[in-house]
Amino acid sequence: MKYQIIPVTAFQQNCTLLWCETSNEAAFVDPGGEAQKLIQAVAERGVNLTKILLTHGHLDHVGAADALAKHFDIPIYGPHKEDLFWLEGLPAQSKMFGMEECSSFMPTEWLNDGDVVKVGNEFFQVLHCPGHTPGHIVFFCKSAELALVGDVLFKGSVGRSDFPKGDHQQLMESIKNKLFPLGDEVKFIPGHGPMSTIGYERQTNPFVGEQYPD
Ligand SMILES: [Zn+2]
Ligand SMILES: [Zn+2]
C-alpha cells in the first residue's frame, strides 16, 4: 500500500490518499476541504478512487467528502453512528469556524468496531475510539502496519475532549486499550501534524505515555 498526505483547510488537516499498488484502487481518508485540490491529486496519481473513509464528524475532516462522493460517484464509509449529531450540525460548524458553508450529509454506511473496509487488496480494520467525539473510529492496516487515527492521538499530544459529548477518560482508554495494543512498530497518520509510531507515543507522550503515570 502507498499513501500521500495532503494537508487541507486552515486547520492543516491531514487528508490521506491511499492506494493499493496491485489493483490501483484508492481511497481518501478524511477529505476535510479543498475538493478541487484533492480531485487534482487523484488525477496526478492516476489512481482509481473507489471510496471515502471518515474517522469522525468534524468539519475539517469531512468538509469535502460529499462533493468528492458526488464527483466520483463513490460511497462514504464511517464514522460510527454516534457522530450523527456532528454531521447534522455541519452548517453550524462552518459558521462557528468561519468557513465556507458545508451542507449536512449522511455516509453511505456507518462503521462499527470490528468492521473491515477493503481498498483493492488492502484491508483496514475499524476500531471504535471514542473520547474526542463519541463516534470516532480509527482505520488500521495490519499488513502495512499503518493506522489512520484522526484526532485521537498526535505526535506528543492527544485529541481535545472539551467538545459536546467529548470525554477525556474515554479518550485515554481508547488510546491505551485500542491503539497501544496494535504494536510499537505501527506507524500512524494523525489528523494534524507529523506522523509518529505507537511505540514512540507509548513511551514518551506526556498525556498518555508510560513515563507519565496518571
Ligand atoms: Zn476533530
Ligand atoms: Zn481535526
Ligand closest to 136 (CA) is 1
Q: What is the pLDDT of residue 84?
A: 98
Residue 212 pLDDT exceeds 80? no
Ligand closest to 193 (CA) is 2
DSSP codes joined into one string, the chain? -EEEEEEETTTTEEEEEEE-TTT-EEEEE---S-HHHHHHHHHHHT-EEEEEE-S---HHHHTTHHHHHHHHT--EE---GGGHHHHHTHHHHHHHTT---------SB---TT-EEEETTEEEEEEE--SSSTT-EEEEETTTTEEEEETSEETTEE----STT--HHHHHHHIIIIIGGG-TT-EEEESBS--EEHHHHHHH-TTT-TTS--
Residue 97 pLDDT exceeds 90? no
Q: What is the pLDDT of residue 157?
A: 97
7 Cα: distance to centroid of ligand 2 (angstroms): 11
Burial track 180-208 (b if 16+ CB lie within 10 A, e otherwise): bebeeebebbbbbeeebbbebbbeebebb
Q: What is the pLDDT of residue 191?
A: 98
The pLDDT confidence band at residue 213, using thresholds 50, 70 and 90, is: low
The whole-number average pLDDT for the span 193-198 is: 98
58 Cα: distance to centroid of ligand 1 (angstroms): 5
Q: What is the pLDDT of residue 214?
A: 55
1 Cα: distance to centroid of ligand 2 (angstroms): 24
138 Cα: distance to centroid of ligand 1 (angstroms): 12
Percentage with pLDDT > 70 across the chain: 99
To the nearest 10°, report the CA torsion of 206, 130, 108, 18.
20
Residue 183 pLDDT exceeds 70? yes
22 Cα: distance to centroid of ligand 2 (angstroms): 31
Hey, where are the domains in the chain? 2-204
22 Cα: distance to centroid of ligand 1 (angstroms): 32
The whole-number average pLDDT for the span 87-93 is: 94
Residues 13-54: tens digit of each pLDDT: 999 999 999 999 999 999 999 999 999 999 999 999 999 999
16 Cα: distance to centroid of ligand 2 (angstroms): 13
Q: What is the pLDDT of residue 100?
A: 80
Mean pLDDT of the chain: 96
Ligand closest to 93 (CA) is 1
CATH of domain 2-204: 3.60.15.10
Kindly list the strands in the beta sheet with 137-141, ordered across the sheet, starting from the edge strand earlier in the chain. 116-119, 122-128, 137-141, 146-150, 187-190, 196-197
Q: Output the nine-digit C-alpha cell for 36.
A: 478541487
Ligand closest to 192 (CA) is 2
Burial class (CB in 10 A: 0-12, 13-18, 19+), 213: exposed
Ligand closest to 32 (CA) is 2
Query: For 10, phi and psi rounded to 5 degrees?
Result: -65, -20
Residue 98 pLDDT exceeds 60? yes
